[in-house]
Amino acid sequence: MTVLVTGGAGYIGAHTVRALRAADREVVVLDTLERGNRQAVVDTELIVGDTADQRLVAKICKDFKITSVIHFAAYKAVGESMIKPEMYWSNNVASTEKLLAVLAENKVDKFVFSSSAAVYGTPKSVPVTESASAAPESVYAETKLAVEKYLGTLTLNSVSLRYFNAAGASSDNKIGEDWSASQNLIPQVMRALLDSAFKFEIYGNDYDTPDGTCIRDYIHVEDLAMAHLKALEYLESGGRTLVCNIGTGQGTSVTQLIDLTEKIANRKVPFTVAARRSGDPVSVYADASLADRTLGWQSTRSLHNILESAYTWHSTHPNGYR
């Protein structure tokens, strides 16, 4: 029972590969390494290639006797998606359709999809449940929703995990997020602390929130990795196609996150305020009770744990995996 993890050399993918291996799962990773790191998969079988390469995917399915897939391979920068929409539709949607076609031919019928809370846009109320209307505000979010809808029409069983803001590093400080390849907030905050040449900007402080900055739900990447394992177990036990939130249920503003980081690091985070960024929702945090009921999953780590692990990782790996 081998699991194919596409994009498994990326930040969340690599942590999930570790969680699978720790559970004694057979794993093979498919990654282009365009935005992933070979070192992050450690000694897991890695095949360098594209999910759109149907001949390669078919060979992997046969050679490794693939029974299930966890699909991370996608571009994920909101701002970039608004500037290069064609690239996002091609890579995130068209390539996924090609992958799914090969899986159907090879009778691989269990599929865990890396979706995003970005599909909600700015919800009418928070914490947001899965029954809330989807209202994407970026091309990135549109591509995630498109794949979810496509999965809902297929015969294979899938779990689409709408996860919130993954952050932090592994408990043993061996893998984390490379700030040079990420536009996520926490690695940028850490870079502002540790790299004097880096200019960190907050995108907007005039939102309709208590302190004017955007509010998000930050979840430790190891908690998130465990959600993928739980989703796989759900499918293996006969679970049907499902969409569910993966978050903590706690909303944190950009300003609050910076304040807590400063307490942990005992130093100021230098920043300037820039204009709002196109595609950024105002306030989004999760109601993750469905994941608890159906997958038996809950978050276990606090924001303090997240920021502390991120600070430790970036302090000891200022050049990422290089």
Quick: pLDDT tens for 98-153.
999 999 999 999 999 999 999 999 999 999 999 999 999 999 999 999 999 999 99
Strand, coil or helix: 124: coil
Where on the phi/psi map is residue 266: left (φ > 0), alpha (ψ -120 to 50), or beta? left
Average pLDDT over residues 293-307: 98
Average pLDDT over residues 26-39: 96
pLDDT of residue 188: 96
List 140, 207, 234, 311, catalytic entry: 140
Q: Is the pLDDT of residue 271 over 90?
A: yes
Find residue 45's DSSP bridge partners. 28
Q: Is the pLDDT of residue 194 over 90?
A: yes
pLDDT of residue 181: 83
Q: 295 and 234 in contact (C-beta within 8 Å)?
A: yes
Q: Is the pLDDT of residue 272 over 90?
A: yes
What is the maximal distance between C-alpha atoms in the chain?
56
* pLDDT level of residue 183 (50, 70, 90 thresholds): confident
Task: Give me 102's structure tokens.
Answer: 């090969």
State pTM to two decimals.
0.96
CA distance 243 to 290: 9
Average pLDDT over residues 30-46: 96
Instruction: Kindly state the helix (H) or strand (E) to which residue 64 belongs, with its residue range.
Output: helix 54-64
Mean residue pLDDT across the chain: 96
Structural domains of the chain ordered from first start: 2-167+218-247 (3.40.50.720)
Burial class (CB in 10 A: 0-12, 13-18, 19+), 176: buried
* pLDDT level of residue 65 (50, 70, 90 thresholds): very high
Q: Reply yes or no on whether 140 is catalytic.
A: yes
* pLDDT level of residue 278 (50, 70, 90 thresholds): confident
Average pLDDT over residues 1-22: 97
CA distance 219 to 68: 25
Q: Is the pLDDT of residue 321 over 90?
A: no
* pLDDT level of residue 246 (50, 70, 90 thresholds): very high
Strand, coil or helix: 299: coil
Q: Is the pLDDT of residue 225 over 90?
A: yes
Find residue 227's DSSP bridge partners. none
* pLDDT level of residue 1 (50, 70, 90 thresholds): confident
Cis status, amide bond into 281, omega within 30 of 0 = no
Number of Cβ atoms within 10 Å of the Cβ of 136: 19
Find residue 216's DSSP bridge partners. 252
Q: Which residues contact 278 (CB under 8 A, 6 or more apart)?
A: 79, 82, 138
Q: Is the pLDDT of residue 289 over 90?
A: yes
Q: What is the CA radius of gyration of the chain?
A: 19
Average pLDDT over residues 213-230: 98
Percentages (nearest 5) of helix, strand, coil residues in the chain = 40, 20, 40
Average pLDDT over residues 40-51: 97
Q: Is the pLDDT of residue 182 over 90?
A: no
CA distance 263 to 255: 13
CA distance 145 to 50: 21
Average pLDDT over residues 211-224: 98
pLDDT of residue 242: 97
Task: Give me 284's structure tokens.
Answer: 């989004």
